[in-house]
Amino acid sequence: KLKTKNKVKKNPEGKVNKRHKKKNMECPPVHQYPDRVRIDTLKHAHQTRYGSEPEIVVRVPGRVNLIGEHIDYCGYGVHPMAIDQDILVAVAKVPTRGTLQLTNLESKFADFETNLTNLKVQAQASWWNYFLCGVKGVLVELETPDSVLQFGLNCTVHGRIPHSAGLSSSSALVVAAALSTLWALDHQMAKKDLADLCARSERFIGTQGGGMDQATEILAKPGTALLIEFNPLRTQDVTLPQEANFVIVNSLADVNKAAGSDFNTRVVECRLATKVLAKLNNLSGWREKTKLIEFQEALNLNLEEALAKCTSQLHPEPYSKGELCQLLEMTTPELESQCLSPNTLDVANFDLFHRSKHVFSEAKRVFDFKSACDNSQDDKALTELGRLMAESHQSCSQDYECSHPALDQLVSLSKTAGALGSRLTGAGWGGCVVALVPLEKLDGYMSYIKEKYFANLAAAHGRDLNELIFTTQPGGGALTYTC
Ligand code: NG1
Ligand code: MG
């Protein structure tokens, strides 16, 4: 397992750590990218901004999670796929030592410039911080001494993944930055190691997320969705039923996960539920357990049994800090340092019952979803997938409380419009829903949602509706092209 280092370690030979060193990357030529106009625009913008040509273009897709929400960080498998919408980063190495220059073709994202040595990521969601996560992650992991950074990097970004929408444009930036940095250091890393590294690196921003997004964006193959499991990271390709159309609808309610503490509060609630359940069941080493899957596996329970334990042994009312200290035999400072995150220190009450109920039931739905896909010749498979998606949304909304009125409205409109099921996708609290719509209902579904949801929505005015509601096919993962 790769370890995470907090500091860039100086290495006496002044070389980059060789642990991951492999043969040079194999990169297809950039003319193989399907949208020639977009590439030309990007290259031209790069040339205009910096006065020299880019050498590579890194392409990273967004992702949509079909089912398995807020369970990756509890150790459970998830079921996403990569989408077509992607982010492109044109990159060139320049002789100005240690500089990093970033520009974004979307004018609302300001340019940024910093030094590659001693990079600081701020726990705020300015776009470049996500880029810095990926750069820093690689430099730290490879223990790159400053003396190696004899070059600077000029980067031009063009994103097509809707942002703040649960489609993981954030991780796409992290992954693109990590790939750019690896290229600059002339290093190649196994894809799974890179996915793990990017998952750890994105936490520099302050959210304690799981590894679904980075793994999907790196490991996806065109034509199949993925069942992703963790510790160790492993994937199975899942062929979706041919008649299944997945439609993504942007509610236009923005989420900014890094700016609030909702996300980390959920992570902490799951961690606390793990410890409380482990202690109540006399598990040795309960203090070290942090993920609900560790509790389930240590007791050799199946997911239904784990669910029964949490609903019978936890109380539905929230737990106060005082009660948790008593249960876990900890002082308040111990509870804070061992279980909480810097941005949840002020949270007074933690809901353990509903959060763990969601996690165990959602983990089971992921496996049921995969089985239904594997049995797609069964004429009830599609209905089953829809039912699981609808249950997942209900659980996210009621038990995990990570929905938003706009998302609930879209889910209910989707049902009326003929979807077999729909659910919020990504962290929630805004962003997109994904709906499963049979082919014969597709046209009707699209026009109904456009009329009932978007027609009166001020935020949709002037927006291209095709960017707010679109069908999607499983796409391929990240690629580095040479110019
Ligand atoms: P979003 O907010 O959609 O990027 C986050 C986490 C995922 C996962 C989902 C909820 C990161 C980078 N992403 O995704 O790992 O926990 O929420 O299922 O933290
Ligand atoms: Mg994200």
User: Does the pLDDT value for residue 23 go beyond 80?
Assistant: no
> What is the value of ipTM here, to two decimals?
0.98
Ligand 1, atom 12: closest residue by C-alpha: 209
Residue 390 near residue 379 (C-beta atoms within 8 A): no
CA of 427 to the centre of ligand 1 (A): 5
> Does the beta carbon of 127 lie inside 6 Å of ligand 1?
no
- Copy the structure tokens of residue 135: 């750069």
Is residue 75 within 6 Å of ligand 1 at its C-beta? no
Distance 208 CA to ligand 1 centre (A): 9
The confidence score (pLDDT) of residue 26 equals 75
Q: Is 73 in the pocket of ligand 1 (CB under 6 A)?
A: yes
Q: Is 170 in the pocket of ligand 1 (CB under 6 A)?
A: yes
Q: How remote is the CA of residue 210 from the centroid of ligand 1, in Å?
A: 6
What's residue 137's pLDDT?
A: 97
For range 96-111, the mean pLDDT = 96
Q: What mean pLDDT is reported for the chain?
A: 93
Name the pTM for this structure. 0.94
- Nearest atom within ligand 1 for CA of residue 210: 15
* C-beta 210 within 6 A of ligand 1: yes
Give the residue numbers annotated as catalytic, written as ranges: 213
In whole angstroms, give the CA distance from residue 65 to residue 421: 14
Atom of ligand 1 at shortest distance to CA of 208?
A: 19
Residue 432: its H or E element = strand 432-438
Q: What is the mean pLDDT of residues 398-427?
A: 98
State if residue 362 touches ligand 1 by the CB under 6 angstroms criterion.
no
Pairing label, strands 99-104, 152-159: parallel
Are 382 and 241 in contact by the 8 Å Cβ rule? The answer is yes
Cβ-Cβ contacts under 8 Å for 131 (sequence gap 6 or more): 102, 155, 157, 173, 174, 176, 177
Query: Is residue 121 packed enough to be buried (19+ CB in 10 Å), middle (13-18) or exposed (0-12)?
Result: buried
Better-predicted residue by pLDDT, 15 or 154: 154
- Say which amino acid occupies 56: I
Query: From CA 316, how far away is CA 354, in angstroms rounded?
Result: 7
Q: What confidence score (pLDDT) does residue 257 get?
A: 66
Question: Mean per-residue pLDDT for 60-69?
Answer: 98
pLDDT tens, position by position, 174-230: 999 999 999 999 999 999 999 999 999 999 999 999 999 999 999 999 999 999 999
Cβ(181) – ligand 1 distance below 6 Å: no
- The β-bridge relationship of strands 112-115 and 152-159 is unpaired
439-475 pLDDT per residue, tens: 999 999 999 999 999 998 888 888 899 999 999 999 9
Indicate whether residue 245 lines ligand 1 (CB < 6 A): no
User: Rounded to the nearest whole angstrom, what is the distance from the C-alpha of residue 427 to the centroid of ligand 2?
Assistant: 8
User: Which position has the higher pLDDT, 284 or 4?
Assistant: 284
Cα(329) to ligand 2 centroid in Å equals 35
Q: Which residue has tokens 């199946």? A: 302
Q: What is the pLDDT of residue 13?
A: 42
Going by alpha carbons, the residue nearest to atom 15 of ligand 1 is 210
Segment 281-308 mean pLDDT: 97
pLDDT at 2: 40
Closest to 204 in 3D by CA, of 242, 171, 179, 244: 171
Phi, psi of 430, rounded to the nearest 5 degrees: 140, -170
Q: How many CA atoms lie within 13 A of 288 on its CB side?
A: 4
Q: Is the CB of 427 under 6 A from ligand 1?
A: yes
Q: Which ligand is nearest to the CA of 63?
A: 1
State the ligand closest to the CA atom of 214: 1
- Ligand 1 nearest atom to the CA of residue 425, by list position: 3
The residue behind tokens 């992954």 is 175
201 lines ligand 1 (CB under 6 A): no
Query: Which residue owns the Cα nearest ligand 1 atom 19?
Result: 209
> What pLDDT is attached to residue 404?
96
Rounded mean pLDDT of 375-388?
94
Query: What is the rounded average pLDDT of the residues 271-294?
Result: 97
Atom of ligand 1 nearest to the CA of 72: 16
The mean per-residue pLDDT over the stretch 112-130 comes to 89
Calculate mean pLDDT across residues 102-130: 91
pLDDT of residue 223: 96
Has residue 22 got a pLDDT over 90?
A: no
* Shortest-distance ligand to the CA of residue 127: 2
What's the confidence (pLDDT) of residue 460? 81
Q: What is the pLDDT of residue 462?
A: 83
For a ligand 1 pocket test, name from 169, 207, 212 the mutation site with the most ligand atoms within 8 angstroms of its C-beta: 212
Give the pLDDT confidence of 133-179 residue by residue, as tens digits: 999 999 999 999 988 899 999 999 999 999 889 999 999 999 999 99
Residue whose structure tokens are 């082919």: 439
Average pLDDT on 414-430 reads: 97
Which of these ranges, 53-67, 231-245, 391-405, 456-470, has the smallest mean pLDDT?
456-470
* Structure token digits, residue 202: 């994105």
Write down the pLDDT at residue 255: 75
Distance in angstroms (rounded) separating the CA atoms of residues 201 and 143: 14
The rounded Å distance from CA 41 to ligand 1 centre is 31
Per the rule left: phi > 0, alpha: psi between -120 and 50, beta: everything else, 253 is beta
The CA–CA distances, whole Å, from 115 to 100, 118, 183 equal 6, 7, 18
* pLDDT surpassing 60 at residue 323: yes
pLDDT at 7 over 90: no
How far is the CA of 196 from the CAs of 179, 209, 408, 424, in angstroms? 13, 12, 33, 25
Least confident of 253-262, 356-365, 387-396, 439-448: 253-262
Q: In what order do the strands lie in the sheet with 79-94?
A: 112-115, 99-104, 152-159, 79-94, 56-67, 479-482
**Which residues make Cβ contacts (< 8 Å) with residue 26, sequence separation at least 6?**
none
Residue 206, ligand 1, Cβ within 6 A:
no
Nearest CA to ligand 1 atom 13: 209
149, 138, 127: which is closest to 178 by C-alpha? 138
DSSP secondary structure letters along 43-102:
HHHHHHHHSS--SEEEEEEEEEEEE-TT-GGGT--BEEEEEEEEEEEEEEEESSTTEEEE
CA 199 / ligand 1 centre spacing (Å): 10
The best mutation among 69, 79, 257 to test binding of ligand 1, ranked by most ligand atoms within 8 Å of the C-beta, falls on: 257
Which residue type occupies 272? L
Cis peptide before 222 (omega within 30 of 0): no
> Computed from CA positions of residues 449, 451, 452, 458, in that sequence, does the dihedral angle turn out positive or negative?
positive
> How much distance in Å is there from the Cα of 48 to the middle of ligand 1?
35
- pLDDT > 90 fraction of the chain, expressed in percent and rounded: 88
Q: Which pLDDT belongs to residue 25?
A: 61
